Chains A and B, each alone.
Chain A
Amino acid sequence: DTAVSQTPKYLVTQMGNDKSIKCEQNLGHDTMYWYKQDSKKFLKIMFSYNNKELIINETVPNRFSPKSPDKAHLNLHINSLELGDSAVYFCASSPGGGGVTGELFFGEGSRLTVL
């Protein structure tokens, strides 16, 4: 069983479209994250949720909207896609919450290409 699973793994779409990436973890962790990895392979936090509650919201355009229906799921919806949104998006989870978190478990990444 995959601990942290993301879908889709690859996504190719046109500018202006709206798309979603889904993430699920079966580890019973309280905290989930979305990270963006740019073309230079640099990872940056976008959002973090603890038990369905948003706790980190970095300077990300409001076209990006995370949604956590329950603590095992954290989805990322992107409106009006732009060329600069092309990247690999990683979902991750960790035990604990707030300032007490542990080891990270990553999904396999979702490569988004905006044409």
Chain B
Amino acid sequence: KNEVEQSPQNLTAQEGEFITINCSYSVGISALHWLQQHPGGGIVSLFMLSSGKKKHGRLIATINIQEKHSSLHITASHPRDSAVYICAVRLLRGGSRLTFGEGTQLTVNP
């Protein structure tokens, strides 16, 4: 079993919908990253967080360290949000090593 589990694996939404992608992990971590991989293949870092909540535009990321869970929310979704969203954690004893989830494929239809 992977140390980082994402759900759902695939998500299809209509433009304008509120979207939530979940990430659960089973180990102690020092930080959690949310990444976005565009259809063209490039990877962009969206958030790095170790507690609480961060917001950037229509994207919100939250983390609950006690429950070992993080969520990525997209408000007013748009077709350009279609991408793979990847959760990655930095293990407490892992130094700079990241462990990745398998990704969530999001498709937003117009």
Contacts and interface: CB of A to CB of B under 8 A. Distances in A.
Among B86, B90, B97, max chain A CB count under 10 A is at B97
A82 to B, nearest CB: 22
Interface residues of B, number: 21
Most chain A beta-carbon neighbours within 10 Å: one of B37, B98, B103: B98
Interface in B70-110: 84, 86, 88, 90, 95-98, 100, 102-103
Q: Summarize B's interface: helix, strand, loop or mixed.
A: strand
Contacts of A103: 33, 45, 48
Interface in A56-100: 56, 88, 90, 92, 94, 96-99
Given A41-B103, A43-B88, A109 B96 contact: no
B84 A41 contact: yes
Range for the number of chain A residues in contact with chain B: 20 to 34
B96 A31 contact: yes
Nearest to A40: B102
Contacts of B27: none
B43 to A, nearest CB: 4
A50 interface: yes
Contacts of B102: 40-42
